[in-house]
């Protein structure tokens, strides 16, 4: 299906006379691989901005990110392409556009469930804010943890998960033991959570309207030796 959503943004770099960049979405469905690469592009662009770069050519951007220029151009072409011929990309503008596509141009409130070893590390990690994620609540079932404060967040009783909807929290991170994960996911769905990042090493079943991404470092590690050169 072809979907034409057209917005016009004017080039604000020193080459104002250059053509206006047209942003329109040609495709209804963007390949998952492209969506997976967008946060990687964003991370690179944020580093470039930190270094003070204002604009970058597509070749240099590709080199910086470690991708082929055609790959980046192809990925951006799904959204109409963002560069201006002969100039390349305006870093600030591209950051804004990629954030908009990923729907992280506004702050998302996030709840953490399970404040153990992993949960504590998640709470201590400052990097989520850069991508517009604010962990505003943490839950656990251990009475000894409930009421304690970690990084300014008071650990709440997990039986209060139902309150998430009222608090306008629509994302959650699960960091509980595997046996508890499905029950927690069910409670999160009931509380109208729309996206779950699951660290528990199991598949959790949720209705279609809820997106789950499971991260398992052990599984990633398990496929690493396959790619390693054989030692003799
Ligand atoms: P942990 O035992 O240190 O912490 C688990 C926490 O969950 C505890 O605070 C416990 O009180 C709480 N909890 C247990 N049942 C609960 C429930 N029903 N509701 C709310 N809280 C509950 O474990 P950990 O090392 O932090 O690991 C957490 C999860 O993450 C485990 O499933 C583990 O296998 C997984 N893990 C994943 C990765 C990864 O790469 N994805 C890495 C390490 C651990």
CB 18 within 8 A of CB 86: yes
Helix (H, G, I), strand (E, B) or coil at 135: strand
User: What residue owns the CA closest to ligand 1's atom 2?
Assistant: 116
Q: What is the mean pLDDT of residues 187-194?
A: 97
pLDDT at 80: 76
> Among all chains, which residue has been given the structure tokens 């656990």?
140
Q: What is the mean pLDDT of residues 29-33?
A: 85
**What is the chain's mean pLDDT, rounded?**
86
For domain 6-101, which architecture applies? Orthogonal Bundle (1.10)
**Cα of 115 to ligand 1 centre, how many Å?**
7
- The answer to whether the CB of 148 is under 6 A from ligand 1 is no
Residue spans in the chain of domains classed CATH 1.10.10.10: 6-101
Q: How far apart are CA 101 and CA 82, in angstroms?
A: 12
Q: What is the mean pLDDT of residues 105-125?
A: 97
Residue spans in the chain of domains classed CATH 3.40.50.720: 108-220
**Cα of 177 to ligand 1 centre, how many Å?**
4
Ligand 1 pocket test, candidate residues 123, 140, 141, 177, most atoms within 8 A of CB: 177
CA-wise closest residue to 161 among 199, 197, 114: 114
Structure tokens that stand for 2 in this block: 């072809």
- The answer to whether the CB of 191 is under 6 A from ligand 1 is no
User: Where does 10-123 show beta strands of DSSP type E?
Assistant: 21-24, 55-56, 89-90, 108-113
- The answer to whether the CB of 184 is under 6 A from ligand 1 is yes
Q: Which has more confidence, 1 or 85?
A: 85
pLDDT at 79: 80
Q: What is the value of pTM for the model shown?
A: 0.84
**Residue 12: pLDDT band with limits 50, 70, 90:** very low
Beta bridge partners of 110: 135, 171
Q: How far apart are CA 19 and CA 5, in angstroms?
A: 19
The domain covering 108-220 belongs, at the CATH homologous superfamily level, to: NAD(P)-binding Rossmann-like Domain (3.40.50.720)
Is pLDDT of 31 > 50? yes
User: What residue owns the CA closest to ligand 1's atom 3?
Assistant: 116
Non-local CB neighbours of 157 within 8 Å, separated by 6+ positions: 139, 140, 141, 146
Ligand 1 pocket test, candidate residues 146, 199, 202, 223, most atoms within 8 A of CB: 199
Non-local CB neighbours of 92 within 8 Å, separated by 6+ positions: 49, 54
CB 102 within 8 A of CB 42: yes
């Amino acid at each position: 299906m072809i979907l034409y959503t057209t917005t016009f943004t004017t080039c604000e770099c020193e080459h104002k006379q250059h053509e206006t960049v047209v942003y329109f979405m040609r495709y209804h469905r963007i390949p998952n691989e492209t969506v997976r690469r967008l946060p990687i592009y964003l991370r690179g662009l944020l580093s470039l901005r930190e270094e003070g770069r204002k604009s970058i050519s597509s070749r240099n951007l590709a080199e910086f990110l470690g991708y082929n220029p055609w790959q980046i151009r192809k990925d951006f072409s799904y959204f109409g392409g963002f560069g201006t011929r002969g100039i390349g990309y305006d870093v600030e503008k591209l950051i804004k556009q990629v954030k908009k596509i990923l729907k992280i141009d506004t702050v998302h409130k996030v709840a953490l469930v399970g404040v153990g070893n992993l949960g504590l590390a998640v709470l201590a990690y400052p990097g989520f804010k850069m991508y517009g994620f604010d962990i505003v609540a943490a839950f656990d079932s251990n009475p000894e943890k409930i009421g304690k404060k970690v990084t300014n967040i008071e650990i709440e009783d997990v039986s209060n998960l139902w309150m998430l909807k009222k608090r306008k929290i629509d994302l959650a991170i699960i960091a509980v033991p595997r046996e508890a994960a499905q029950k927690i996911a069910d409670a999160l769905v009931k509380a109208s959570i729309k996206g779950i990042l699951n660290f528990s090493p199991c598949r959790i079943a949720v209705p279609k309207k809820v997106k789950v991404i499971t991260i398992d470092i052990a599984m990633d590690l398990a496929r690493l030796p396959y790619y390693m050169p054989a030692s003799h």
